[in-house]
Structure 1
Amino acid sequence: MEVIIKGFVSLLIGYLLGSANTSLIVGKFYRIDVRQHGSGNAGLTNTLRTIGKTAALFVILGDILKGVLSCLIGYYLLKDVQFAGFVSFEVPQNVGMFFGGLGAILGHNWPLYFGFKGGKGILTSFSVVMMTAPYIGLILLGIFIVIVAATRYVSLGSIAGCVLFPILVAICYKNMVFVTYAVLLAAIAIIRHNQNIVRLLNGTESKLSLKKKA
């Protein structure tokens, strides 16, 4: 029972933190709702295109911070919980981060405070990956940078990272709980990119530009 309660509390706190969608909060200072401009996505790339570099910097900091805080809260809530006898498989010691991190991602994508219309959660997902598997996170960041530099498609770099995440977890950790979690995070992110995938296939996806759109 303790596992269920603390797991739920971690998920809930993460969701409430994640619901503080940084791009929408920053946009309020510019009197701009990024969901009404550009791609319509409440995330970093659309903020960069619509508002500019300074606003995008605050989005980066905010989206990463809420993922980190959610993971830390989940970790400390569940770090002393005993899983022996509750489940028959090995549970990672940082499993509390899984609950908090998942909550933050769900909150970012479907924010309670903004009509459940959020972003795609890539930055927040990346912060969760860095908290739970930092070496894999750095590898994925490198792959993302190479793909975006070569193609200027942020979505393509993000999708590639999502696909590779559970594969790398399976290779490096060989833990059923961690692999399942990685598959879940990847699935959420890829589903949120469904329109980007269609545009990539059609050749109509927008490329990254550091210039703010008029």
Structure 2
Amino acid sequence: MSPFLLTVLSIIAAYLVGSISFAVVVSKLFGLSDPRTYGSKNPGATNVLRSGNKAAAVLTLLGDGFKGWLAVWLAYRFGPQYGLEEGAIALVAVAVFLGHLWPVFFSFVGGKGVATALGILLGINPWLGLGTLVTWLAVVFAFRYSSLAALVASIFAPFYYGLLFGVDAMLLAVLVMSALLVYRHRANIANLLSGKEGRLGAKK
């Protein structure tokens, strides 16, 4: 198989893996309402938590993170021996992220990408992922806004990558994912600016 064909197949496979919406799948397994029908209507762990089922929310978080990590880890682990170069692996990372945002299996209605992005970063390099996670946690503990933490972490992720590895194709992929994550949080940004964004742990 030619490297080009393998690259195309890897990108398609990564997108399909990313298209598995664990928020919807886990909610169905637990007998919960479809997360796209209540709360923020976002199929992600935070919205699943609004159902009151913490176990379902945790499984959603882990599943969304795992699929991002798995796609990138497999590309790094097995890709080079079949001719996949850094640029192709970067495309795999973007593809699994796009799958989560716009999943083909669920009418292209996906989540905001925080957990999947973290999984991808951990797949690229554990220190990169951990540094981004620590940034997210620091903002959450300081301000108790999950969306603000995601926005700050997404902005710092490319900076961390550049410090660790310099400028390459994967940095461009991380920049694309960061920009998409900010875009997906545009409603949260408006709420933050207007003071309407809900804090973690706050009673409604």
TM-score computed with the length of structure 2 as normaliser: 0.90
Task: Indicate the residue corresponding to 2:93 in structure 1.
Answer: 101
Task: Indicate the residue corresponding to 1:197 in structure 2.
Answer: 189
Task: Indicate the residue corresponding to 2:124 in structure 1.
Answer: 132
Partner-residue secondary structure (3-state), 2:42: coil
Task: Indicate the residue corresponding to 2:24 in structure 1.
Answer: 24
Task: Indicate the residue corresponding to 2:54 in structure 1.
Answer: 53
CA positional deviation for 1:2: 3.0
Deviation string 1:128-158 (CA, Å, 9 cap, x unpaired) is 1011022121111111111111211111111
RMSD over aligned CA atoms reads 2.1
Say if 2:131 and 2:160, in contact at 8 Å, map to a contact too: no
Match for 1:169: what amino acid? Y
Instruction: Tell me, in whole angstroms, the C-alpha distance in 1 between the residues paired with 2:26 and 2:111.
Output: 14
User: What is the aligned counterpart of 1:150 among 142, 146, 152?
Assistant: 142
Match for 1:177: what amino acid? A
Match for 1:196: what amino acid? N
Call closer, same or farther: CA 1:33–1:104 in 2, change over 3 Å.
same
Instruction: Tell me, in whole angstroms, the C-alpha distance in 2 between the residues paired with 1:52 and 1:97.
Output: 36
Instruction: Tell me, in whole angstroms, the C-alpha distance in 1 between the residues paired with 2:189 and 2:102.
Output: 20
Deviation string 1:29-79 (CA, Å, 9 cap, x unpaired) is 324011111111110111112242111111122112211221233235521
Task: Indicate the residue corresponding to 2:45 in structure 1.
Answer: 44
Q: Are residues 1:71 and 2:63 paired? A: no
Instruction: Tell me, in whole angstroms, the C-alpha distance in 1 between the residues paired with 2:76 and 2:5.
Output: 14
> What stretches of structure 1 move > 3 A for 4+ residues in a row?
none
Instruction: Tell me, in whole angstroms, the C-alpha distance in 2 between the residues paired with 1:174 and 1:208.
Output: 35
List alignment gaps of at least 5 residues for structure 2: none
Match for 2:53: what amino acid? G
TM-score computed with the length of structure 1 as normaliser: 0.86
Match for 1:14: what amino acid? A
Call closer, same or farther: CA 1:210–1:21 in 2, change over 3 Å.
farther
Say if 1:76 and 1:96, in contact at 8 Å, map to a contact too: no
Say if 1:11 and 1:99, in contact at 8 Å, map to a contact too: yes
CA positional deviation for 1:81: 4.6
Say if 2:69 and 2:119, in contact at 8 Å, map to a contact too: yes
Say if 2:147 and 2:185, in contact at 8 Å, map to a contact too: yes
Match for 1:22: what amino acid? F
List alignment gaps of at least 5 residues for structure 1: 84-90
Greater relative contact order (Cα 8 A, min sep 6): structure 1 or 2? 1
Say if 1:19 and 1:110, in contact at 8 Å, map to a contact too: yes
Say if 1:7 and 1:74, in contact at 8 Å, map to a contact too: no
Partner-residue secondary structure (3-state), 1:119: coil
Task: Indicate the residue corresponding to 1:3 in structure 2.
Answer: 3
Match for 2:27: what amino acid? G
Instruction: Tell me, in whole angstroms, the C-alpha distance in 1 between the residues paired with 2:33 and 2:82.
Output: 44
Say if 2:93 and 2:120, in contact at 8 Å, map to a contact too: yes
